Amino acid sequence: MNSTIRALSGALLATACAFAGTSHATVVITGTRVVFPAKAGEVTVRMSNQNTTPALIESWVDAGDEQSTPDKVNTPFLITPPLFRMEPNRDQSLRILFTHSDQPLPSDRESLFFLNVLEVPPKPNALQVQDKNYLQFAIRSRLKLFYRPDGLPGDPLKAPSQLTFKAGSNGANAELVVHNPTPYYVTVSHVTVTVAGAEHKVDTGMVAPLSDLHLAITDLNQKPATGSVIDYACINDFGADVVLKGSVAQ
């Protein structure tokens, strides 16, 4: 990729981040996350351009920096093609290959990366913008990419059901401490806890492998009692919500 294209993508990326919440990409990516089994060596991500105009697509993988740009990332992944023109009403596949890592990735748990797909629309012609004000911007999609080492114990689809919950407090607010005893990342998309017959919403988030996550409980000052019912949902490998039930442990 030449320096002109790198400069263009870097400049447009800031705009993409600013407008992503109020805009809709015309290039649709299949799935909401990418699971990369180590033994596979590579994975394929499908996308389709559902617009009547072409788009310039640039893709890269970062290690957690939302402000990353393709020319500055340093991850053990190679995407092909990294930059291409996507014709209207056409499908395209991205191949993500594992190359190497300067620092070996953990072999006893998943590692988290992010797949970025930047969509740059074509410049309108003079007739289209004649006597009009217009704003043009790029849109970046950012998906979680889970690198899954070979031979991890347990079933990743059962990992959400193995979460445990304890009551905690953070200053004046009550919270749930979610423990993930598995080697897999678990994304909690919905949580409520029932205290004295009333449901209280709980913050959501992603629990790292073999780690804890502290989630604040909305409008609850006192810790929920042991045995309080917890209703929660987690997102599985296929992007679907898995609805589960638990309780506050002692």
Instruction: For residue 172, count CB atoms less than 10 angstroms from its CB and return exposed for 0-12, middle for 13-18, buried for 19 or more.
Output: exposed
Q: What is the pLDDT of residues 30-70, one digit of tens each?
A: 999 999 999 999 999 999 999 888 999 999 999 999 999 99
pTM: 0.85
**For the domain 156-249, what is the CATH code?**
2.60.40.10
DSSP state of 82: S
The whole-number pLDDT of residue 22 equals 39
What is the rounded CA–CA span in Å between residue 38 and residue 202?
A: 34
What is the rounded CA–CA span in Å between residue 113 and residue 15?
A: 22
pLDDT: which is higher, 6 or 138: 138
Residue matched to tokens 């809709």: 24
The whole-number pLDDT of residue 100 equals 78
Counting residues of the chain whose pLDDT is more than 70, the rounded percentage is: 85
Residue/partner pairs of 234-240 with CB below 8 Å, 24 or more apart = 234/159, 234/160, 234/163, 234/186, 234/187, 234/188, 234/189, 235/32, 235/33, 235/187, 235/189, 236/157, 236/160, 237/33, 237/35, 237/156, 237/157, 238/31, 239/31, 239/32, 239/33
Q: Where are the beta strands (DSSP E) in 106-240?
A: 111-120, 139-148, 164-170, 173-180, 186-195, 198-201, 205-207, 211-216, 229-235
Q: Which segments of the chain belong to CATH 2.60.40.10?
A: 3-148, 156-249
Mean pLDDT of the chain, nearest integer: 88
The whole-number pLDDT of residue 8 equals 43
User: What top-level class would CATH report for the domain 3-148?
Assistant: mainly beta
What is the rounded CA–CA span in Å between residue 69 and residue 85?
A: 19
Q: What is the pLDDT of residues 83-135, one digit of tens each?
A: 999 999 999 999 999 997 777 899 999 999 999 999 998 776 666 656 666 66
Residue/partner pairs of 196-199 with CB below 8 Å, 24 or more apart = 199/231
**Contacting residues for 247 by C-beta, under 8 A, at least 6 apart:** 165, 226, 227, 228, 229, 230
Closest by Cα among 75, 61, 44, 66 to 114: 61
SS3 of residue 41 by DSSP: coil
